[in-house]
Structure 1
Amino acid sequence: MDQVFRALADDTRRRLLDRLHEENGQTLGELCARIAMTRQAVTQHLAVLEAARLISTVRRGREKLHYLNPVPLHEIQERWIDKFERPRLRVLGAVKRQAEEAMTDKPTYVYVTYIESTPEKVWGALTDADLTAAYWGHSNVSDWQKGSRWEHVRTDGSGIADVVGTVVVSERPTRLVTTWAEPGKEDRTDTHSRVTFDIQPHGGIVRLTVTHEDLPSERDLADVSQGWPAVLSNLKSLLETGRTLSQEPWLVPES
């Protein structure tokens, strides 16, 4: 290793390696043609490189061809560069990915539940204004056609919608996708989120997957992480027992 470092310490020897990297298997005369020094001086430099195993030579008749040997350089990289650089580069790569994700990706929440019911009944429970009022405390109002508006309307008779949006996908009874936004902010895409209901038969029951994506902030993620389990547990109870839970889960304070 000491011989390698000594060999690389000289600019002329580094240039000779560069020449062999550009075109391997050159003769002494070919190498001298591009180095402004005597053949004897070049021969001495080549001897140092060969002693360090940075080049190897092969006889071809009366000529001696010089070839670059990258193995010692690779050993230097492994011992003196990689073990120091890899952790730093790994950290920099992770920071870069996190920064890019922070710029491009918004929080997503996914909830899966299994219901003793049919896809048609689950679809109805998600879209029927009276049923949603029973277990959600709001009526989901729409004709549920693709492109239609939908509203999440309070059941206190005020007619106020707390959430509005557009039906993006409506494939009864297996898939419903809607956008969510505050009233008056429908045109601001930075405040929109998107909810997908996937309703799939699972043996004799139903697997319901709710994906709430493009949430504007981590605070919104925290809110829906509490809200969806409460709402869907109430829906499950209604479909399986005919009754909602004895208490509205979202009104019970966290212990």
Structure 2
Amino acid sequence: MTEHRTSIEIEAAPEVVFEYLVTDTGMTSWMGQWASLDPVPGGTFAVDIAGHPARGMFLEVDRPRRVTVSWGFAGNDSLPPGSSTVSFELTPISAGTRVEVVHTDLPEDHVLGHAQGWSHFLLRLTRAATGEQLPPDTWQPAP
């Protein structure tokens, strides 16, 4: 198992960015086509992303500083629901918010796909959190 780390800076306050991580409409504005989120520890985390059902639960919700969820995919034996962990750390900076994403416990054969996915989706988060209306996402993982 390994981890993937990445970060972005967004020209929006942490309180604004936080809502894009914990609400159904916020989440689907930048990642996924459908979401059902219950942002309390033990609450449901369910997002359909490019035809893949990401499933887990909220592990930590520290408004507006940190969100941690368990993560995996329904029907995937090598990365089943809840088998990895994604943490979003929001830090205020002069230009807005620095968002660090740490995805841990990834099977080696899932690291590249998740690195590509996080790169794609975090750019969309940057745009959505600054008020841009994005077109529906057509991203697909590399074969």
Give the TM-score band, short-chain normalised: 0.7 to 0.9
Which residue matches 2:103?
A: 212
1:138 to 33, 42, 62: 33
1:40-51 correspondence runs (5 A): none
Identity across matched positions, percent: 23
Alignment partners' CA distance in 1, 2:100 and 2:83: 20
Q: Which amino acid aligns with 2:139?
A: W
Alignment partners' CA distance in 1, 2:35 and 2:89: 17
Alignment partners' CA distance in 2, 1:152 and 1:166: 11
Return 5+ residue gaps in structure 1 as ranges.
Answer: 1-105
Which residue matches 2:22?
A: 127
Deviation (angstroms), 1:190: 10
Alignment partners' CA distance in 2, 1:112 and 1:135: 16
Which residue matches 1:170?
A: 61
Deviation (angstroms), 1:131: 2.4
Which residue matches 2:73?
A: 182
Q: Which has the larger radius of gyration?
A: 1
Deviation (angstroms), 1:213: 0.6
Between Structure 1 and Structure 2, which shows a larger proportion of helix residues? 1
Alignment partners' CA distance in 2, 1:191 and 1:116: 31
Which residue matches 1:221?
A: 111
Alignment partners' CA distance in 2, 1:178 and 1:122: 16
CA RMSD in angstroms comes to 3.0
1:168-194 Cα distance to aligned partner (Å, 9 max, x none) = 1110111011111222679x9897110
**TM-score, structure 1 as length reference:** 0.49
Between Structure 1 and Structure 2, which shows a larger proportion of strand residues? 2
Alignment partners' CA distance in 1, 2:36 and 2:122: 18
- The structure-2 alpha-carbon separation of the partners of 1:232 and 1:249, relative to structure 1 and needing over 3 Å to count, comes to farther
Is contact 2:56–2:81 with CA below 8 Å preserved after alignment?
A: no
Is contact 1:231–1:249 with CA below 8 Å preserved after alignment?
A: no
Q: Which amino acid aligns with 1:250?
A: W
- The structure-2 alpha-carbon separation of the partners of 1:249 and 1:232, relative to structure 1 and needing over 3 Å to count, comes to farther
**TM-score, structure 2 as length reference:** 0.83
Q: Which amino acid aligns with 1:230?
A: H
Deviation (angstroms), 1:142: 1.9
2:127 to 225, 237, 242: 237
